[in-house]
Structure 1
Amino acid sequence: MENIVLVGFMATGKSSVARLLSKKLNMQLIDTDIYIEQKENMSINEIFHKKGEKHFRNLEKQSLEILSNKKNIILSTGGGIISNDQNIKLLRKIGVVMWLKASTDTIIRNLENSKIERPLLKVENKEQKIQSLMKSRLSKYSKCAHFEIDTDDKNINEVVSNILLNLAKI
């Protein structure tokens, strides 16, 4: 089976879906954020704070270049990985790209239940920031994805089933 790459905005369920897909398909799970944290020996928040977003985006690109030769993987990515056009090419080279889409309301609800700190949301008006980021990334996700998977009002099992149905079309 081809590698599966999950892209999408923060809090759309990429990590949770990747874990279940990994178990169901017996494929190795790699999360780019965790991969970078281990390589840099610091959290994503620390990287953003100490070295800036530009440095973090370079680390994402370097990680994708290293991971581009891996086989039998489920790759879960950070929400902004598609900001760089070279990353889009690398993601599509790595495997079948599934775009997990969600509405702003779903994202906000998921963020309220999340323990993960989001460096880009350390702002006064989170909803406005989310809408702005989503708007700026929409065309990039669309350009990157082989398939779009709507996650609104769906549980993890439903999203995984939808991904598997789309994979069967290949």
Structure 2
Amino acid sequence: MLQSHNPAPASWDGQPIVLVGLMGVGKSTVGRRLAARLRVPFVDADHEIEAAAGMTIADMFEKFGEAHFRDGERRVIARLVDGRPKVIATGGGAFINDETRALILEQATAIWLTANTDVLVERVRKRDTRPLLRGRDPRQVLADLAAKRNPIYALAPIHVSSHRGPHEATVAAILKAIGR
């Protein structure tokens, strides 16, 4: 069951749509499908960060630390939020940065994708590339991150809950939330 937590559909004005939320919620997968439905480009901020740095996010975390990565992430997202219609999937921590969040809220349509911990754990176990999960219990990490980050994600004006099932249902909920 999908739910959108918005009082009334917003009318999307062509600003970049920025998907925010915890790792594993489906920002990249849903973002690609949403972009296709809207007939706009899709950009994965993590891929753009890796291309700009010439290394993987895991390597950046290992060599330079999270603070260095977050600074690069902020700069790349600032470049991506350029006023042109597109869908941008961000990393789970991007919206937590005050400057990045302010930019997104001012110059884009921010959508918080959320899912319960069981769904997130199931999804993150499919990939071994997430630095914050290395050598740790995914359920505990995700629960801790949710407790800390969900109040900040909630600042996004559009909230869409995703549950087990086809990502196309989440896309449909977003389209409804933006008046499409």
| TM-score calculated relative to the size of structure 1 | 0.93
102-111 or 90-99, which moves further after superposition?
Answer: 90-99
**Higher relative contact order (Cα pairs below 8 Å, separated by 6+ residues):** 2
Partner of 2:157: 146
Q: How many residues align?
A: 167
Partner of 2:136: 124
2:63 matched residue in structure 1 = 50
Structure 2 residue matching 1:90: 3-state secondary structure: helix
Match of 1:12 among 9, 13, 25: 25
Aligned residues of 1:5 and 1:77 also touching (Cα < 8 A): yes
> Which residues of structure 1 form unaligned runs of 5+?
none
CA contact (8 A) 2:30 2:170 kept: yes
Counterpart Cα distance in 1 of 2:97 and 2:136: 26
The residue type equivalent to 1:123 in the other structure is G
CA distance in 2, matches of 1:111, 1:102: 12
Give the RMSD, CA atoms, in angstroms.
Answer: 1.4
Cα distance in structure 2, aligned partners of 1:53 and 1:138: 19
- The answer to whether 1:24 aligns with 2:37 is yes
Cα drift, residue 87 of structure 1: 1.1
Structure-2 residue corresponding to 1:81: 94
TM-score (norm 2): 0.88
- Cα separation, 1, equivalents of 2:32 and 2:77: 19
What's the secondary structure of 2:112's corresponding residue?
strand
Q: Following superposition, which runs of at least 4 residues in structure 1 exceed 6 angstroms of deviation?
A: none
Q: Which amino acid is 2:54 matched to?
A: N
1:2-33 CA distance string (max 9 Å, x none): 32110010000110011111111111111110
Indicate conservation of the 8 Å contact 2:50/2:57, yes or no. Answer: yes
Q: Deviations over 1:24-58 (max 9, x none)?
A: 11111111100000000100101001111000110
User: 1:83-141 CA deviation, whole Å, 9 max, x = no partner?
Assistant: 211111111133111110011100001112x2351100013322111111111101110
Report the counterpart of residue 177 of structure 2 in structure 1. Answer: 166
Rounded to whole Å, the distance in 1 between the matches of 2:104 and 2:97 is 11
- AA paired with 1:104? T
Could you tell me whether the CA contact under 8 Å between 1:68 and 1:93 is conserved in 2?
no
- Partner Cα separation in structure 2 for residue 68 and residue 21 of structure 1: 17
Query: Displacement, 1:69?
Result: 1.8
Match of 1:137 in 2: 149
Alpha carbons 2:96, 2:149 under 8 Å: kept: yes
Provide closer, same or farther for how the CA distance between residues 99 and 70 of structure 1 changes in structure 2, counting only shifts above 3 A: same
